[in-house]
Amino acid sequence: MSNNNKLSFLRHPLFYCIFGIFIYHKKMVCRNFAVIHCNFIILLVLIFFYSCKNSNDSISEISAPIFISSTPENGETNVSIYTKEIVLIFDVNVTLKTPYNITLNGNTLTDIRPGIQKDLQIILPELKEGTIYELIIPANTIKGPTGIYLPTEIKLTFSTYTPPKRIFSPEAQNVMNFLKQTYGSKTISGTMANVNWNTEEADWVYAQTGKYPALNCFDFIHFVFSPSNWIDYSNTSVVENWWKAGGLVAAMWHWNVPANSGVADQYAFYYGSKSDHTLFDVSKISDENSAEYKLMIKNIDTISSYLNTLKSKNIPVIWRPLHEAAGGWFWWRAKGAAPFKLLWKLMFDRMTNYHHLDNLIWVWTSEGNDADWYPGDEYVDIVGRDLYPTTNIHDSQWTEFNKVKAIVSSRKMIALSECGAIPDPALMFQKGDTWLWFMPWYGNYTRDDSQNGAAYWRTVMNNSHVITRDQMPDLK
């Protein structure tokens, strides 16, 4: 430390204030040596304290910024391709020399934002799966508040997640590509069929807003009665018309099994002791000789035949079976996570490898606290969350979004697969719950003002973040 730094306190106003008080006190009191001696000691202590403090300040003022940490970390693997930024943390607020040459795999990055929390946000381009990335910030690019530059280079290396290999039909691959390009920048509007096999809610939204939602979800809920004069899932005209008009096709399955009543034509999907509920034992999925296993295989094959009809017409399906498993109300949840996951994997294998349904994009529905129920990356393409808020109903749902995000470590796209009220799209993208799509339930959830209603649908469908059917690319 230089002598100038050691004596810098002599130039500070505080020194002169202390010294003046000392002289004044000296004149006002008797010239008692003890009093003077005491005052002198106090003055020395104050000068010593300030000198030490000022010396430390001088040291920090002439130091370069110190790089502390980053997200993602150096050497991190399985980074999500949906990562939008690299955040660097320093010991002080930092700025950049201009022009700068910060690169990612040799390509210059231009969107870099010094924060106010000692951070530097580097906005990333679209990342590719299974790729090693290297970020380089040259020496003397980052400076602290006093203009001293970090004299060393910062180099970070990370690699993105490589998903299990999936073979899709050309149309399903087109849909997957579109969904990946959309995720994080837009949200897809959706509606749920009124009970099963129609576009009634989508038609109502169009009548109120002049725009169709981009996605319509159908339900195989009445498969045990098909074909009949009131429901026939082999008649796919309504689905074909939706796909030909540019809409995305989704489907789910409220899987009915025999009810407790024992009556041959009574079925239930809710689990419980009432006669109109079922005690169907999903754990028998492990026993190939059981009546339950044989019925599950038979039902899966039946639904596969309907899905195969759609495949033959080159229609991809966003497929969401066995939904809300950890919620506690359906029979496929009754025996816990282990048999549920066995059932999911059996269905996936039978539909994918036995029936060769490569037109399906598989959606697992999370309850937000059910990591043990996740079937595994190789069996899931997208993760959904069903939400029915009762207060602040159009508020952002970023807390629930982040719960699901944590379960899959950001490796999968996340959709609001069912909802009551639609979150305000502006708040979605302000807060960060960038759901891939939203889909309110049919009936009052879609039409009533207490949930959504015509006026709110007009607001939603005219938001720049929302994709409507007329904005869909050709995915055929």
Residues with catalytic function: 324, 418
Give, in order, the Cα–Cα distances in Å from 169 to each of 80, 361, 413, 476: 24, 10, 20, 11
Quote the CA–CA distance of 185 and 396 in Å, as a whole number.
Answer: 16
| CA–CA separation, 74 and 14 (whole Å) | 46
What SS3 class is residue 273?
Answer: coil
CB 428 within 8 A of CB 187: yes
β-sheet bridge partners, residue 134: 157
d(CA 249, CA 307): 11
In 245-349, the DSSP E strands lie at 248-252, 257-258, 267-268, 317-320
Residues recorded for the chain: 476
**What would the two tokens of residue 347 be?**
């269905």
Instruction: Give backbone dihedrals phi and psi of 294, rounded to 5 degrees, phi first.
Output: -65, -40
Tokens matching residue 82:
């949906």
CA 254 – CA 198 distance, rounded (Å):
16
